[in-house]
């Protein structure tokens, strides 16, 4: 097990969202480190049942949980997403379904979804 307290973010690859998510997770969950599992518009791919992408994300999340002892997994959606250009309402619906999918993996962690607005402020769904 790694030294320090870890969390995991299933995050968009968009560079604008990395630092706000890391800072928010460290502050809100007392983490030392945040493992990033990135995909363009991950909540869209998970909620749509993209089997190959889901399997890849799951494998990477399992490494974070098993090898780093990650205690929380956050799924991130954000304003102005090039990889998943849908409305905020659609992002929120996809986050709800993505949370359901990730919970079905039966990992021993808390799972939640967050939204980053146009000011890159994070709010939990």
Residue 109 counted as domain residue: yes
Domain span at residue 50?
6-124
Task: Note the pTM of the prediction, 2 decimals.
Answer: 0.96
Amino acid 103: pLDDT:
98
Query: What letter would DSSP give residue 119?
Result: T
Find the distance separating the first CA and the last CA of the chain, reported in whole Å.
30
Residue 79 lies in a domain: yes
* CATH code of the domain containing 74: 3.40.1050.10
pLDDT at 79: 97
In this structure, what token pair is assigned to residue 19? Answer: 């630092």
> Does residue 12 sit within a domain?
yes
Question: Looking at the domain assignment, is residue 90 inside a domain?
Answer: yes
Say if residues 108 and 41 touch (Cβ distance below 8 Å).
no
pLDDT at 68: 97
In a structure prediction context, what are the per-residue pLDDT tens digits for the chain, which is 125 residues long?
678 999 999 999 999 999 999 999 999 999 999 999 999 999 999 999 999 999 999 999 999 999 999 999 999 999 999 999 999 999 999 999 999 999 999 999 999 999 999 999 999 98
- Could you tell me where the DSSP H helices lie in 1-125? 15-29, 42-47, 51-68, 88-103
16 lies in a domain? yes
Q: Is 41 left (phi over 0), alpha (psi -120 to 50) or beta?
A: left
Cα 95 to Cα 101: distance, rounded to the nearest angstrom: 10
Q: Is residue 1 part of a domain?
A: no
- Residue 94 is predicted with a pLDDT of 98
Residue 33 located in a structural domain: yes
Domain count, the chain: 1
pLDDT of residue 88: 96
């Amino acid at each position: 097990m790694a030294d320090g307290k870890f969390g995991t973010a299933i995050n968009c690859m968009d560079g604008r969202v990395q630092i706000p998510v890391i800072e928010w997770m460290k502050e809100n969950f007392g983490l030392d480190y945040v493992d990033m599992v990135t995909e363009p518009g991950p909540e869209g791919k998970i909620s749509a049942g993209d089997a190959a992408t889901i399997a890849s994300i799951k494998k990477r999340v399992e490494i974070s949980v098993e090898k780093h002892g990650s205690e929380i997994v956050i799924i991130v959606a954000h304003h102005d997403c090039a990889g998943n250009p849908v409305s905020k309402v659609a992002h929120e619906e996809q986050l709800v379904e993505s949370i359901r999918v990730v919970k079905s993996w039966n990992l021993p962690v808390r799972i939640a979804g967050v939204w980053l607005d146009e000011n890159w402020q994070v709010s939990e769904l």
